[in-house]
């Protein structure tokens, strides 16, 4: 999650584009559109899709915003063929471009079946039965939700809690019975989803969140501030992982000023910063070239993809994905071709989706559609074939389901 107010204004003013999708491939791979669903009255939709399986059934949750004061805002949940399972409309008086934040597909209520969980402009976070749409849990927020709710053990008690923020900067940890374990004001806007992990390797979890005032805050399991760290610009995207092979986990913050910073999870020390250009975005880190060093993959506004050495932020390679755009979401990572290795899937604002080799930046396949895109791709193996499907929500509210196929195979 994770955008500037200026960008939000840009999204509201964006014009609607239509058009069909075009697959393109490299020597061995191509991206094929399997189906397309959804619609919106505006072209600025920028909250990402969630996808997963429930009892062996595919579930694709699509957050759709619309014109303020009008009908059309909804949480739309689809099956694996793009057919509607159910939808939860947002009333006209709460309909905006932010009507439904990034959803999650996760088991929170404890029935061993994942729910679809989303926050909305109705100022609540709701967990729905993923197959029927029946509400299983509701939690009141102090303002509308902007980022993806996180299901994780934030207290170290062995059970999952819901960690949720709202846009004016309140973070809460909540149990399935509705009990608020702790709730804290952040005194700043929050556009980046919270993250829960044992960052300092002491056996207990921490909850971290990046803020619009250029600060990253770490809370311990009781909700006490463990440390704060300053970064250059508003934090709009974040990721985390052990990127330098030490005991601690690092938090990666990307900012509007164009900086990616690696922050030591033990004490908040900024280990390195790398200026990439305006509106930096960062995706999940991993060793993409098999050299034993974790790479940090990031983008900037104009559509350049970077691979950074996780130890010091040195640029290993760059790839220009487009001739220049207004913003670029971060890349996603997952095995889309079934070879057992993670691929990068990068989208650009001008409507293209690219499968990129994480070792050297080679573009192996590309799909283009004549519509704007502001949200990162979502990867999930929803048909259990060993390959992750690619789901991309375009600004016009249409989600496209893509599969990576051999260039020698026919499309389905």
Reported as a single tens digit per residue, the pLDDT across 230-259 is 999 999 999 999 999 999 999 999 999 999
160 class by beta-carbon count within 10 Å (0-12 exposed, 13-18 middle, 19+ buried)? buried
CA gap 358, 80 in Å, rounded: 28
How large a percentage of the chain has pLDDT more than 70? 92
Of 367, 358, 360, nearest in space to 389 by CA: 367
Cα dihedral value 329, 300, 354, 295, nearest 10? -100
Distances from the Cα of 173 to the Cα of 62, 121, 170, 229, 249, angstroms: 24, 19, 10, 21, 21
Q: How many CB atoms lie within 10 A of CB 17?
A: 15
**pLDDT for the residue 215:** 97
Tens of pLDDT along the chain (412 residues)?
A: 333 333 333 333 333 333 446 655 556 899 999 999 999 999 999 999 999 999 999 999 999 999 999 999 999 999 999 999 999 999 999 999 999 999 999 999 988 899 999 999 999 999 999 999 999 999 999 999 999 999 999 999 999 999 999 988 899 999 999 999 999 999 999 998 999 999 999 999 999 999 999 999 999 999 999 999 999 999 999 999 999 999 999 999 999 999 999 999 999 999 999 999 999 999 999 999 999 999 999 999 999 999 999 999 999 999 999 987 899 999 999 999 999 999 999 999 999 999 999 999 999 999 999 999 999 999 999 999 999 999 999 999 999 999 999 987 554 4
Q: CA–CA separation, 304 vs 110, rounded Å?
A: 42
Query: Bridge partners of 318?
Result: 306
CA proximity to 70, closest of 52, 96, 50, 47: 96
Rounded to an integer, what is the distance from CA 197 to the centroid of its chain?
17
pTM, to two decimals: 0.93
């Amino acid at each position: 999650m994770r955008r500037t107010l200026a960008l939000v204004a840009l999204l509201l003013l964006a014009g609607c584009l239509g058009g069909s999708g075009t697959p393109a491939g490299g020597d061995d791979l191509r991206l094929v559109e399997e189906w397309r669903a959804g619609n919106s009255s505006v072209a600025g939709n920028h909250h990402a899709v969630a996808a997963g399986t429930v009892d062996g059934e595919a579930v694709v949750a699509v957050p759709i915003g619309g014109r303020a004061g009008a009908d059309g805002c909804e949480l739309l949940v689809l099956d694996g063929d793009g057919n509607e399972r159910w939808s939860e409309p947002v009333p006209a008086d709460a309909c905006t471009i932010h009507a439904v934040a990034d959803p999650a597909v996760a088991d929170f209520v404890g029935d061993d079946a994942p729910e679809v969980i989303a926050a909305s402009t109705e100022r609540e976070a709701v967990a729905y039965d993923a197959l029927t749409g029946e509400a299983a849990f509701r939690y009141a927020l102090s303002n509308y939700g902007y980022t993806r709710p996180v299901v994780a053990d934030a207290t170290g008690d062995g059970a999952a809690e819901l960690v949720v923020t709202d846009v004016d900067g309140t973070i809460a940890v909540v149990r399935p019975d509705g009990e608020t374990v702790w709730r804290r004001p952040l005194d700043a806007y929050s556009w980046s989803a919270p993250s829960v992990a044992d960052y300092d390797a002491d056996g207990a979890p921490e909850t971290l969140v990046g803020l619009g005032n250029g600060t990253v805050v770490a809370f311990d399991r009781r909700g006490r501030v463990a440390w704060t760290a300053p970064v250059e610009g508003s934090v709009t995207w974040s990721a985390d992982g052990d990127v330098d092979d030490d005991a601690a986990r690092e938090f990666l913050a990307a900012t509007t000023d164009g900086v990616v910073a690696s922050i030591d999870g033990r004490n908040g020390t900024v280990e390195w910063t790398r200026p990439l250009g305006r509106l930096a975005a960062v995706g999940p880190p991993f060793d993409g070239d098999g050299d034993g060093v974790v790479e940090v993959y990031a983008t900037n506004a104009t559509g350049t993809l970077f691979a950074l050495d996780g130890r010091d932020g040195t640029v290993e390679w760059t790839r220009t994905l487009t001739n220049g755009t207004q913003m670029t979401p971060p890349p996603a990572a997952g095995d889309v071709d079934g070879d057992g290795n993670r691929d990068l899937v990068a989208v650009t604002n001008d409507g293209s989706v690219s499968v990129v080799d994480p070792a050297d930046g080679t573009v192996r396949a590309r799909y283009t559609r004549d519509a704007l895109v502001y949200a990162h791709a979502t990867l999930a193996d929803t048909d259990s074939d060993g390959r992750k499907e690619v789901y991309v929500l375009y600004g016009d509210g249409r989600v496209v389901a893509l599969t990576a196929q051999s260039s020698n195979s026919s499309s389905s």
